[in-house]
Structure 1
């Protein structure tokens, strides 16, 4: 059994950094800069306006924090509409808080996004009806920083064993003697994830089709990593001699290249992927765009019962064969 590890929740990889400690401290107790601004928030907005992002994003954040969005509560106050009831849920008044965070329609989006943890569940309100700009700005700047790092990594060309940059739009056959395993995940409902795996040879013929339904509240990238791990587990179980694994999750590829550098559950899953790859004749874990991973994506929805695992090596489901003909 692996040893227990200390895990730092405010960072993505579970390891403490000065920056994550700073964000946590600021979100809990505020800062001297906040007091020096005399409540104007000028210091925060200087940070935001200096970010290298499209100006329309910054402008939107500023308007949301200062109550200047064209929500119905503001429009009613200026006699531009007849009522302030939200047009989506038809229950609550449409304020900035409701439209962006509290409406059931928007909550369903944030629930599947890491921004939910940073903003919706943070100390976001100064008063019941006013967004706390400092917390929004902190979350926004952290997301921008993470996104820029991701983009910079995505533009790099890798030549090592695991990861070969951004893949193409269509599925391509592997070399002779190699089985290409495509993996994907599907978020189903509030707490279920489907994993799909499809294996094909150099002629494009089906070798295996596997799917699994799990009860879990995983993030999208965690589900994608679990799908890659599931594909490798099936390959080892079937004693496939030589494989190459494809996924459309570029963020998984980048962390696989680093062999899991953190202590989060995601990083530990990536370590399992790398260890399993080393135990197999795995030619690499590479990226393919969604268009080249469609069959695996649809296969992830095959199992309908939690805990079920379906593995086909002969008599493949007819609709999977039909999907293959579309690619």
Structure 2
């Protein structure tokens, strides 16, 4: 994309700074996500947490969104990103005063209108293959519900698991940290595998596993096989799940998976595995209460 950093690298222009804010070099990441002129749009969206984690490689965030969010959310995120690029071009080339928030709202409405139209024309056949919950839901009586998540760091991967009963009470939490650089899809599959391992270890028979990694959940639901490393975890999860009397694997949006997300991101660097059955930290209890919809 023809941002100033790229044009400067090609010796087309002399100044690589953002012409709108003059505070930083204009990269794709800066133009779409980090420039103060567009920041308020992302702050008021459901994607702010993801945007805050963006490094210099802007397309990594698109990968995370497609893995953790529903198709509807992916369309909305893409519309907002395109709206911010349009906002940039309007300011630079059309000298057109406008409100980025109103522009983003208009783009989002186009996406929403198209999805309504698409559902009528195609009969909703473009769904994601299952219902994604926005909030945490209690499992049936006698079923253990385990929520899992993964977090990737520069040189390690954190895995988080929280298990709750039909009353919403925490039964146990688990956290594991492995050294190495992992693809986020593999890390999410490893988190589900960790959760299933713990459920088997502690003798549970009826298990509902929930993750915010939509593509991994779909692979498990569809019992997909393949040669990528992620399928080593997928095939093992499918095999292990046969030992349960009942097993469900479903997708939940990030907002309904906050406890597992917190555990994955805060596992101590020196820890290999931590499992806790009592005296849960106040931060975990508070997040668990907020999780419940």
TM over 0.5, shorter chain: yes
1:311 aligned residue (275, 278, 291): 275
Residue from 183, 195, 219 that aligns with 2:183: 219
For 2:15, the equivalent position in structure 1 comes to 84
Residues 212, 308 of structure 1: 8 Å contact kept: yes
Among residues 113, 136, 154, which one is paired with 1:171 in the alignment? 136
Q: Counterpart of 2:4?
A: 71
Q: Does 1:321 align with 2:277?
A: no
Structure number with larger C-alpha Rg: 1
Query: What is the distance in 2 between the residues matched to 1:252 and 1:154?
Result: 20
Bigger helix fraction:
2
For residues 252 and 290 of structure 1, the distance between their equivalents in structure 2, rounded to whole angstroms, comes to 14
Gaps (5+ residues) in structure 1?
Answer: 1-63, 88-92, 100-104, 115-151, 159-164
1:293 has 2:238 as partner:
no
| Structure 2 SS opposite 1:234 | helix
What is the CA distance between 1:261 and its match in structure 2?
Answer: 1.6
Q: What is the DSSP-based 3-state SS (H/G/I as helix, E as strand, rest coil) of the residue aligned with 2:209?
A: strand
- Alpha carbons of structure 1 residues 320 and 86: separation in structure 2 relative to 1, 3 Å: same
Distance in 2 of aligned mates of 1:324 and 1:154: 34
Aligned to 1:124: none
2-side partners of 1:154 and 1:313: how far apart? 43
Is the 1:181–1:246 Cα contact (8 Å) retained in structure 2? yes
Following superposition, the deviation at residue 240 of structure 1 comes to 1.5
TM-score (ref. length: structure 2): 0.60
Q: 1:277 maps to which residue?
A: 241
Shift of 1:218: 1.2
Per-residue CA distance 1:250-298 (angstroms, 9 max, x = gap)? 1011211232321111111100110111122342111111111111111
- Compute the displacement of 1:173 (Å): 0.2
Shift of 1:84: 2.5
CA distance, structure 2, for counterparts of residue 261 and residue 71 of structure 1? 44
CA contact under 8 A between 1:112 and 1:220: conserved in structure 2? Answer: no
Q: Distance in 2 between matches of 1:73 and 1:309?
A: 44
Structure-2 change in CA distance of 1:86 and 1:182 (3 Å): same
RMSD (Å) for aligned C-alpha atoms: 3.7
TM-score by length of 1: 0.55
Mind listing any 5+ residue stretches in structure 2 that lack a counterpart? 19-24, 32-53, 64-121
User: In 2, Cα distance between the equivalents of 1:315 and 1:245?
Assistant: 23
